[in-house]
Amino acid sequence: MTEAGSDRARVLDAEDPLHHLVDEFVAGGDVIAYLDGNSLGRPTRNTAGRVRDFIDGEWGGRLIRGWDESWFELPLTLGDRIGEAVVGAAPGQTVVGDSTTVLLYKLARAAWDLNQGRTEIVIDRDNFPTDRYLIEGIAAETGATVRWIDAEPRGGVTADDLDAVVGEQTALVVLSQVAYRSGHLLDVPAVVEVCRRHGALLLLDICHSAGAVEVGLDAWGVDLAVGCSYKYLNGGPGSPAVAYVARRHLERIRPPIWGWMGAAASFEMVQGYTPAAGIRRILSGTPPIYAMLPMMDMLDLIESATVPAIRAKSVTLTEFAIDLVDGQLADLGVTVASPRDPRRRGGHITIDHPAAQAATGRLWERGVIPDFRHPNGIRLGFSPLSTTFGEVAVGIAAVGDELRRAAERTGM
């Protein structure tokens, strides 16, 4: 680590109004720089106690009575809490339920049925693989035509890109608010305007944005959204995802997977399926109550910090990282593969170099944890409440060390 980078990191950490929250997270093991918080957030220190209390008190003490006392409503009450604190949704429109993939399928397939008579679904080729695969599968199932957007890979989809592809036959548009590779931040209000003008529904993937950047689903007029909870909501590996359905669609939407927890009067077990009123109809099987526990502690921290303050730190973290890359890694052939304008950038950046994949493996061995993205990207993800500027400086200096060693080995 350069002395200048280290000195600046110390100043930034000292000035950070959220720095005290770093101690609220588990930071064990041999990791010296965790730069992958946009893939899996650290657990909070309170989570272990919450889980123990749940086992001893609610699960162990109340047993099956827990369903009547709180568990049956938890997907909705927790959804409302996420709606208010994180994604800008009024009560009754957000629910915690299945995995991200299942919820994306449910909402995309239901949206196709809502816009019957149209023949096309629009998505970009740089969207996360699950999103693309699901849409290809729905097209195979329904006969829909997939219209692809070819966006700038170091940027992302713009309203102009969308306007060139969407049309009167477009039933559904599927886009990510933050691009998983480049970190490009979508201009959601502009995209909503394009969709509205053509009568298309918008399904917004907020997996890489919820908890790191400001999200205003109601204010923007988004139709549908899905986000995961294991990134910036720190719910843990495989924790359940969050679905949003705008109130104007709730009584018409009919998800394709019918299950008892999404039915009206679930415990009456009647013959024939009738969907529950409101957002509960998005549920299918028994919701993973145990897996919802960890995100509650992270929501405590998000509510105390507020998303605007979290976003402000996120911008400063990514600006600092880009400055270090420019100053320390550019002479090694490293390029920034993310938007430089912070207004168009989410909570992570990607840097490109031919030796990125090999370097990432060696970085992991020394306790510096970014991740690799094909073909040549090292993705640096900063979870604002748990990532320090010192970690960023240590991590980028280590990237430089490994790339120099790679150059010495190859003679490049």
Strand order across the beta sheet in which 170-176 lies: 94-96, 242-245, 224-227, 201-205, 170-176, 120-124, 145-149
Task: Residue 318: name the closest of 353, 348, 282, 356 by CA.
Answer: 348
Q: What is the C-alpha to C-alpha distance for residues 26 and 146, in angstroms, rounded to an integer?
A: 43
Distance between CA 22 and CA 301 in Å, rounded? 10
Q: How many CA atoms lie within 13 A of 181 on its CB side?
A: 21
Torsion of CA 244, 248, 252, 258, to 10 degrees: 20
Its sign, for the CA torsion 175, 178, 179, 180, is: negative
What are the catalytic residues? 128, 205, 230-231, 379
Task: Provide the 10 A C-beta neighbour count for residue 106.
Answer: 25
- Which residues face 178 on adjacent strands? 185
For the chain, the first-to-last Cα distance in angstroms comes to 22
User: CB under 8 Å to 410, separation ≥6 — which residues?
Assistant: 355
d(CA 160, CA 231): 30
d(CA 77, CA 56): 22
